[in-house]
């Protein structure tokens, strides 16, 4: 696939990152259960 300016697109529809999906529950748990210091770490 090419752009109007002649450049190429690397990946017009990349897949979502699996790493973020795996880390999300842990990050939410830290936000809910943690104190202010834990919340400010990330």
pLDDT in tens, 1-12: 667 887 877 777
Q: What is the mean pLDDT of residues 20-38?
A: 76
User: What pLDDT is stored for residue 1 in this prediction?
Assistant: 61
pLDDT over 80 at 29, yes or no: yes
Q: Of 7-11, 12-16, 17-21, 25-29, where does the model show the most confidence?
A: 25-29
Distance between CA atoms of 27 and 7, rounded to whole angstroms? Answer: 38
pLDDT over 60 at 42, yes or no: no
> Which spans in the chain are helix H?
18-33, 36-41
Average pLDDT, the chain: 74
């Amino acid at each position: 696939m090419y752009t109007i300016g002649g450049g190429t697109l690397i990946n017009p529809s990349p897949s979502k990152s699996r790493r973020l999906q795996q880390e999300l529950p842990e990050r939410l748990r830290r936000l809910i259960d943690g104190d202010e210091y834990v919340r400010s770490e990330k």
